[in-house]
Amino acid sequence: MEFEEFVKAAFVKMIYEVIEADGKIHPAEVETLNKLKVKIGFDDAFLERAKLLEYDNALVTLYNLPHEQKKALAEILDEVAISDGAIHKKEMDLIIDTFINIGLGEETE
């Protein structure tokens, strides 16, 4: 799936928020992030810029996405959260809050 740059930045911001949520960056999470760099199409410089994006601005961008792109984000965030073998409560809370804030689950298909 192709994403516009501002959407990609919001995705990357949320991915990194999940990685940092439990206070530890696990090697498996870094490995998953590196795979996503290829899949989504971003590099380290883009990652650094995306990390500077305000969380609330990322949510607004994600809220306005079509349902299919929200589902893609959900799958990616789940993949990142389980990549280290366990989903930390802070990761799960962040993912659930993100889904609520972007309206995922409210749509009718």
Q: What is the pTM of this model?
A: 0.91
Confidence of residue 97 (pLDDT cuts 50, 70, 90): very high
Residue reference for tokens 């090697």: 27
Confidence of residue 16 (pLDDT cuts 50, 70, 90): very high
pLDDT of 107 higher than 60? no
Neighbours of 104 (CB within 10 A): 19
pLDDT of 109 higher than 70? no
Each domain of the chain, given as residue ranges in start order, spans 5-101
For residue range 59-93, list pLDDT tens digits in order.
999 999 999 999 999 999 999 999 999 899 999 99
CATH of 5-101, one of 1.10.3680.10, 3.30.70.270, 3.40.50.150, 3.30.1300.10: 1.10.3680.10
Task: Give the percent of the chain with pLDDT over 70.
Answer: 95
Q: How far is CA 85 from CA 26, 71, 78, 82, in A?
A: 10, 22, 12, 5
